[in-house]
Amino acid sequence: MGPLRVLNLGAGGFIGSHLTQRLLAEGHIVTAVDLYSDKLGENLEHPRLTFLRQDIRGDWNLDELVEGSDLVIDLIAHANPGLYIRIPLDVFRLNFLENLKIAEACVRHGKHLIQFSTCEVYGRTAASLPHAALANPEDPIHATFAEDSSEFILGPVNKHRWIYSSAKQLLERVVHAYGLQEGFHYTIIRPFNFLGPKIDFLPSDNQDGVPRVFSFFMDALLTGAPLQLVNGGHQRRCYTHIEDAVECIYRIVINAGGVCDREIFNIGSPYNEVSIRQMAEIMREIYARRFATPGDPLSEIVELGGDEFYGSGYDDSDRRIPDITKARTLLGWEPRWRVQELLESTMEYHVDEFRRKRDALSVRVS
């Protein structure tokens, strides 16, 4: 197979920048669309990359770009809980209405679409329901989600944090319907908590937006602020290194034998389940052992309520473990990174970046 012409939407984000680098390294031709480009770094100068700084919510040449591509990858999303609480209508409009325009352009021009969804569509576990009466609520079977058989359990409407999950789920269902009625070729990806270099920004950078939990913890450790656990930090997640994730995504891009046509894939590491509290404790231990400067205070761990941290309407999934049988069977993929080394590697990148920026600022001031 020769090089693909790939339209990568959201290419400047965390996942998109790593995926763009892999696509270029494999010889493909990439048109990258995003509002931001800093995470693309030196790849911006690559001869096979065309970068378009574009807000998809405006007028833009969507049909022309789709028609000129072999494959469309859609990563565009508002994807963190702080935004679901603050701007739920914007979350719905971007994650469903604007993304639907992209999917329908792919239908019109007969192009394969790789649509990024979210593990948030699964919602809560049965064990979280007040009257579940399960024999063993801790059995991982109640928290292990399979793409084609697991039920979706979401909170009530007044917990509007679920608008993100609902928008993504509805997009999946419409894309699936286009496959049924019009023979549309698509692949849906549900990521499970990817981590690695370039994830988000640190809150102390004063950028617009709300980063994910790792960045809040990393920022607290670097500045000596408390590690804040929302609702006690009892929620559990399975973390996946971006290197493992991109390997799986790239196999979906290649789609050998057409095995990914009209399929949904979980991408995650079922071995890496930790609670948010455990994550804070592991990160604090790593920081004290590897990165702390002698004499600096070590962040304490504190608790606060979800409404206090995020605002009214907050809710959360209690636990989610990916069933990756399909990725193993159809793609021969297996995640390799374990949670301790994953966190340590990601922390090292952010410590280096923080100190580089601090030293550069010190030089300018002096």
Instruction: Say how far apart CA 105 and CA 88 lie, in whole Å.
Output: 25
Which H/E stretch holds residue 33? strand 29-34
Residue 32 β-bridge partners: 8, 51
Tell me if 315 sits within 8 A of 159, measured CB to CB: yes
Measured on CA atoms in the order 146, 325, 198, 96, is the torsion positive or negative?
negative
271 has catalytic annotation: no
Token pair recorded at residue 141: 């079977």
Instruction: Say how far apart CA 195 and CA 243 lie, in whole Å.
Output: 9
Pick the catalytic residue from 36, 84, 122, 164.
164
Token pair recorded at residue 261: 């046509």
Instruction: Say how far apart CA 173 and CA 301 lie, in whole Å.
Output: 41
Instruction: Say how far apart CA 70 and CA 269 lie, in whole Å.
Output: 30
Residue of 174, 185, 172, 357 whose CA lies nearest to 266: 172
Instruction: Say how far apart CA 179 and CA 199 lie, in whole Å.
Output: 33
In the 8-state DSSP scheme, what is residue 114?
A: E
**Catalytic residue annotation:** 164
